[in-house]
């Protein structure tokens, strides 16, 4: 416990000094603006939650982007007329036929979605948790997690559409800006919000169950564990367990979301939710709703665990 307090006492001045130098270097023309930025950063819990969430989401997104690409390719394979392959087969195919760098295709739109999206998610979580003035119960955690994710998911749906299409290998966009213009020109605003309902049906339950499992698991641990030298490991383990269950439960919604977002009305396809569900079932039965399960479970479980670990550490350090 004491070591945790000493670490915080040492780390905070170091990080504050680093950021102070960065702000003063970029704001030499206005020391007042530099001081204002630092004041907002260190005194606003809401802004701190946004920055910590964005930073943690960015780290985990870049690290686990290949798994997201493999998951999307597995789910998109039926649109190419191919039978779904295994995760290792798709991974090797991307490296052999394209390049190792291609595993990070779609990382820019992913970051465009994650930086504001995860920041908004953690900010909303902080705001809703603070309003309770007590540790949330299981039911309260379900509602808090779902509400925060609904806000972030709706706000970032255009970036989600672009990310999915870039990863699929079906669309050849040169960048985020060009994709935005092309989708809007050919499909209108509906194209940029395509898959919103299945996205929310996937993400809201995931975040609801995840935050419930996470808050209850972390709350059950002794304070000596969560605040001591094993605090980061305890957070990571709670994140792994929580992410595993939530990922499996929401996998069918992820498959439907991918299908809807890869179907362009301009190409004569139907972007309806019911049509997507019917086509998926016709192509592979019940098993088709779990295409890409392995890479998604690996990615979402480790990504969420890492994001929460980094978030908790950054929040405590500042």
The per-residue pLDDT for range 240-299, each reduced to its tens digit, is 989 988 888 888 988 888 888 777 543 445 567 888 888 888 888 888 898 888 888 888
Model pLDDT, residue 145: 94
297: its two tokens = 């479970």
* pTM score of the predicted model: 0.70
75: its two tokens = 């789910």
Average pLDDT, the chain: 80
36: its two tokens = 């204002």
Domains of the chain, by residue range, sit at: 1-43, 49-317
Length of the chain, in residues: 318
Model confidence at 33: pLDDT above 70: no
Helix (H) or strand (E) holding 225: helix 223-227
Share of the chain above pLDDT 90, in %: 14
Can you say whether the dihedral through the CA atoms of 243, 249, 253, 259 is positive or negative?
positive
When mean pLDDT is compared over 31-40, 78-87, 122-131, the highest value belongs to 122-131
| Residue burial 83-122, b: 16+ Cβ < 10 Å; e: rest | ebbebeebbeebeeeeeeeebbbbbebbbbbbbbbbbbbb
CA angle 49, 15, 215 (to 5 degrees): 30
Model pLDDT, residue 283: 82
User: 49-317, which class in CATH?
Assistant: mainly alpha
């Amino acid at each position: 416990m004491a070591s945790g307090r000493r670490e915080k006492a040492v780390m905070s001045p170091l990080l504050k000094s680093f950021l102070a130098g960065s702000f003063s270097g970029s704001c030499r023309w206005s020391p007042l603006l530099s001081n204002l930025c630092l004041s907002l950063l260190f005194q606003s819990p809401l802004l701190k939650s946004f920055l910590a969430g964005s930073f943690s989401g960015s780290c985990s997104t870049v690290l686990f982007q290949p798994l997201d690409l493999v998951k999307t390719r597995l789910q998109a394979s039926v649109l190419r007329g191919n039978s779904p392959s295994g995760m290792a087969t798709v991974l090797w195919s991307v490296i052999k036929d394209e390049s190792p760098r291609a595993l990070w295709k779609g990382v820019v739109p992913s970051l465009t979605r994650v930086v504001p999206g995860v920041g908004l998610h953690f900010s909303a979580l902080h705001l809703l948790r603070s309003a309770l003035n007590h540790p949330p119960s299981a039911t309260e955690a379900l509602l808090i997690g779902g509400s925060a994710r609904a806000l972030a998911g709706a706000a970032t749906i255009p970036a989600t559409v672009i990310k999915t299409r870039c990863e699929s290998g079906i669309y050849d966009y040169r960048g985020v800006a060009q994709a935005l213009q092309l989708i809007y020109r050919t499909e209108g605003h509906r194209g940029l919000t395509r898959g919103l309902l299945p996205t929310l049906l996937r993400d809201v339950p995931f975040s609801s169950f995840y935050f419930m499992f996470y808050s209850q698991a972390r709350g059950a641990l002794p304070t000596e564990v969560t605040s001591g030298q094993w605090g980061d490991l305890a957070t990571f383990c709670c994140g792994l367990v929580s992410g595993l269950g939530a990922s499996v439960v929401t996998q069918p919604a992820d498959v439907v979301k991918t299908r809807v977002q890869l179907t362009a009305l301009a190409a004569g396809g139907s972007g309806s939710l019911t049509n997507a569900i019917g086509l998926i079932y016709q192509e592979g039965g019940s098993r088709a709703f779990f295409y890409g399960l392995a890479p998604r479970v690996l990615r979402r479980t480790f990504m969420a665990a890492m994001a929460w670990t980094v978030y908790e550490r950054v929040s405590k350090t500042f």
